[in-house]
Amino acid sequence: MATAANRVLVLNGPNLNLLGEREPQVYGTATLANHMDAATSTAVELGLQLDSLQSNSSAEIVNAVHSARGVYDAIIINPGAFTHYAWSIHDALAAFSGPVVEVHLSNPSTREVWRHESVIAPVASGTIAGFGGNSYVLAVQAVARLLASK
């Protein structure tokens, strides 16, 4: 579907380092490492190279997006709470030329009202939410299709 040259960066925002411990009734018991392993396995099957970064700092995520320009073909991002207010991440992603897929383990639209708006969605090719850890796998599959259709 995609070529071996296709590189994908997965960015994970604040508190996602606590997956498996933090609110398991909402986010499940799998760790971020478990999710990245599943995403990486899917990427390999689809001929993609996947790298990931988790940060609790919006500045570090902005810098990662800037550094991804010309190096990565696509970005998958679970911005966590940055989803709702991090315009700096929005602006950085707007300057990235490849597909961007926004990911959420839970469905923000079914949660607290303040979670309903995403400042990332307007610069994303699409959003995958509410499928737990499968959200990452679905995002990798979506990126592979988007890259193949270029």
20: tokens are: 């498996």
Q: How many helices (H) and strands (E) does the chain have?
A: 5, 5
| Residues with Cβ within 8 Å of residue 78, at least 6 apart in sequence | 10, 11, 12, 13, 16, 102, 103, 104, 105, 135, 136
Asked about 116 being catalytic, the answer comes back as no
Structure tokens that stand for 84 in this block: 């709702």
- List 72, 90, 104, 136, catalytic entry: 104
Q: Which residues are catalytic?
A: 27, 104
